[in-house]
C-alpha cells in the first residue's frame, strides 16, 4: 500500500516544486529587470493629473512605483522571419510624489514610448536568460524525481507480479 502512496506523493511534490521554481524564476526576472532599468541613465518626464505640474523623475523612482494605468495598442510586425509585437502607448500614468501637491498622485509619463524602446533590449536579455534557467532547472527537477519514481514503479510492478503469481498458485492448488 505504501507504494501506491509513493506513486501519488512523488508527482505531487514534483509538481509543487516545479510551480515554486517557476514562481521563483518569474520573481527574479521582474526584480532584475527593474534593477537594470533603474541603473539606466533615463529621466522620465511626467505631468501630474491633479495639478498639471510637469516634472522629471529618475528611472529608479519610475521602477519603484507599482500603481499604473495605461491605454495602448499592439502592432505586430514581421521582421527577419519573426513576428514582433510592439506596444504603442497613448496614455500611461503611474503614481509619483508630486512636488506641488505634496502627495502621491497619478502622473502622465510623457515619454513612455521612448522609455519602452530604450528598456526593451535589456529586458529581453534578462527575460531570455531567466527562461533558459527556468527550463534547465525544471528539467533537473524532473530528472531528479524520475529516479525514485522509476524505482517505485518497478517495485509496484514486482509487487503486482508477485500477487498475480500467488493468486495463480492458489488457483492451481485449488483446482489441480
Give residue 152's pLDDT.
87
pLDDT at 137 over 60: yes
* Cell numbers given for 87: 506596444
* Cell numbers given for 158: 514486482
Give residue 26's pLDDT.
95
pLDDT at 65 over 80: no
Q: Hunting for cell 509538481 — which residue is that?
A: 15
Determine which helix (DSSP H) or strand (DSSP E) holds 19, and give its type and residue range: helix 2-39
Confidence band for 64, pLDDT divided at 50, 70 and 90: confident
pLDDT at 29 over 90: yes
Q: Kindly list the distances between the CA atom of residue 166 and the CA atoms of 2, 158, 173, in Å, as whole numbers in the listed order.
A: 20, 12, 11
Strand-pairing partners, residue 73, are 88
User: pLDDT per residue over 67-109, tens digit each?
Assistant: 778 888 888 888 788 787 777 888 889 999 888 888 888 999 9
pLDDT at 23 over 90: yes
**pLDDT (average), residues 150-160:** 87
* Cell numbers given for 96: 509619483
Give residue 54's pLDDT.
92
Amino acid at each position: 500500500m505504501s507504494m501506491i502512496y509513493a506513486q501519488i506523493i512523488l508527482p505531487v511534490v514534483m509538481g509543487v516544486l516545479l510551480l515554486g521554481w517557476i514562481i521563483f524564476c518569474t520573481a527574479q526576472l521582474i526584480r532584475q529587470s527593474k534593477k537594470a532599468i533603474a541603473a539606466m541613465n533615463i529621466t522620465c518626464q511626467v505631468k501630474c493629473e491633479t495639478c498639471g505640474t510637469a516634472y522629471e523623475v529618475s528611472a529608479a523612482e519610475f521602477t519603484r512605483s507599482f500603481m499604473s494605468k495605461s491605454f495602448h495598442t499592439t502592432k505586430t510586425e514581421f521582421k527577419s522571419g519573426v513576428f514582433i509585437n510592439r506596444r504603442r502607448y497613448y496614455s500611461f500614468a503611474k503614481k509619483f510624489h508630486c512636488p506641488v501637491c505634496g502627495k502621491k498622485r497619478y502622473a502622465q509619463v510623457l515619454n513612455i514610448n521612448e522609455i519602452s524602446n530604450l528598456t526593451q533590449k535589456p529586458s529581453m536579455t534578462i527575460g531570455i536568460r531567466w527562461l533558459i534557467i527556468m527550463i534547465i532547472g525544471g528539467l533537473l527537477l524532473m530528472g531528479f524525481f524520475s529516479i525514485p519514481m522509476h524505482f517505485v514503479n518497478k517495485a509496484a510492478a514486482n509487487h503486482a507480479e508477485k500477487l498475480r503469481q500467488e493468486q495463480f498458485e492458489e488457483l492451481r492448488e485449488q483446482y489441480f
